[in-house]
């Protein structure tokens, strides 16, 4: 293994910032970045060798290869993390504009919402994985949240409470329990998990995550994050009375002033339920 690849892996092992999923994604990105630097001719780099010329070469390569703006933004965040951990923050510009990176476009033109029929769900043989999928569908949870959740603690009667350590970014939140279906799913989750989480027995999170991924693959279930999109769109319909723009509903320009106020209130509510801090992110789920 090349020095840079090895040292970046060690840097990740020694700095466990963020959720498990974030850590895995960060390590994968840093491995890709190290490989790209090697291909670009920087053959003897070490973790502390990072310089402005390396970042400029990477960004130029990404722009020329047509990398999506969102992907470039994520990789720049990882590079900033790397620079901070080796005490070389000053080698990275504070703004992505300094590198001429295109701005990320959040407006979505097509729905990414996905459904999960009972027939497909029956193909998932692990009861804990199946329950996690049902919770994702019913409450718009992220995959990690639906695996780590302790249903007995989460059930607050009229709301589903998510502990900070279960969520992305460590932000606890509550999701309203509005339907009989949600109540039924949560009651069944409580019976299955008992006093624990949806990680059964002696398993660790990473083991259950692999089980989840394998079960979904064998059942032909793909892109289960789409359940979150479907939840957001259903909540928008419930809160406003009309469909979201990505689901065939009116755009903001077509709404009356009164409807725009309701649209804004609904987006703020949905943003909170999904665990985001910005209303603008709802454009990804709902369109504008």
Tell me the two tokens of residue 179: 């339907």
Tell me the two tokens of residue 230: 């479907």
Q: What per-residue confidence (pLDDT) applies to 266?
A: 96
Q: What per-residue confidence (pLDDT) applies to 100?
A: 80
d(CA 258, CA 236): 16
Q: What per-residue confidence (pLDDT) applies to 147?
A: 96
Q: What per-residue confidence (pLDDT) applies to 69?
A: 79
Q: What per-residue confidence (pLDDT) applies to 107?
A: 53
Q: What per-residue confidence (pLDDT) applies to 108?
A: 52
Q: How far is CA 10 from the centre of its chain?
A: 25
41 in Cβ contact with 86 (< 8 Å): no
Q: What is the number of alpha carbons within 13 Å of residue 224 lying toward its C-beta?
A: 27
Q: What per-residue confidence (pLDDT) applies to 223?
A: 84
78 in Cβ contact with 26 (< 8 Å): yes
Q: What per-residue confidence (pLDDT) applies to 258?
A: 95
Q: What per-residue confidence (pLDDT) applies to 98?
A: 83
Residues in the chain, pLDDT under 50: none
Q: What per-residue confidence (pLDDT) applies to 120?
A: 84
Q: Is the pTM of this model over 0.75?
A: no
Q: Could you tell me the CA-to-CA distances from 37 to 64, 70, 131, 228 in Å, in that order?
A: 15, 20, 43, 36
Q: What per-residue confidence (pLDDT) applies to 105?
A: 54
Q: What per-residue confidence (pLDDT) applies to 278?
A: 84
Tell me the two tokens of residue 3: 């020095």
């Amino acid at each position: 293994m090349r020095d840079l690849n090895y040292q970046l892996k060690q840097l990740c092992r020694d700095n466990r910032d963020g959720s498990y999923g974030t850590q895995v994604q960060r390590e994968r990105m840093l491995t890709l970045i190290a490989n790209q630097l090697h291909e670009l001719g920087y053959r003897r780099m070490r973790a502390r060798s990072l310089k402005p010329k390396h970042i400029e070469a990477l960004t130029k390569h990404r722009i020329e290869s047509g990398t999506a703006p969102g992907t470039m933004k994520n990789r720049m965040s990882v590079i900033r993390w790397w620079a901070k951990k080796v005490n070389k923050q000053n080698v990275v510009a504070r703004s992505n504009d300094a590198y001429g990176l295109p701005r990320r476009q959040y407006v979505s033109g097509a729905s990414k919402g996905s459904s999960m029929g009972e027939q497909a769900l029956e193909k998932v043989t692990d009861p804990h994985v199946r329950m996690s999928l049902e919770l994702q569908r019913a409450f718009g949870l992220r995959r990690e949240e639906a695996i780590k959740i302790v249903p007995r603690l989460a059930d607050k009667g009229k709301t589903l409470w998510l502990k900070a350590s279960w969520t992305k970014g460590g932000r606890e939140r509550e999701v309203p329990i509005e339907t009989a279906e949600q109540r039924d799913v949560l009651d069944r989750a409580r019976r299955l998990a008992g006093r624990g989480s949806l990680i059964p027995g002696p398993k660790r999170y990473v083991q259950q995550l692999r089980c989840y991924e394998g079960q979904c693959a064998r059942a032909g279930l793909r892109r289960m994050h789409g359940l979150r999109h479907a939840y957001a769109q259903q909540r928008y319909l419930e809160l406003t009375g009309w469909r979201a723009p990505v689901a065939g509903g009116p755009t903001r320009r077509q709404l009356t002033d009164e409807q725009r106020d309701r649209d804004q209130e609904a987006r703020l509510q949905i943003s909170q339920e999904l665990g985001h801090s910005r209303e603008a992110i709802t454009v990804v789920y709902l369109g504008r």
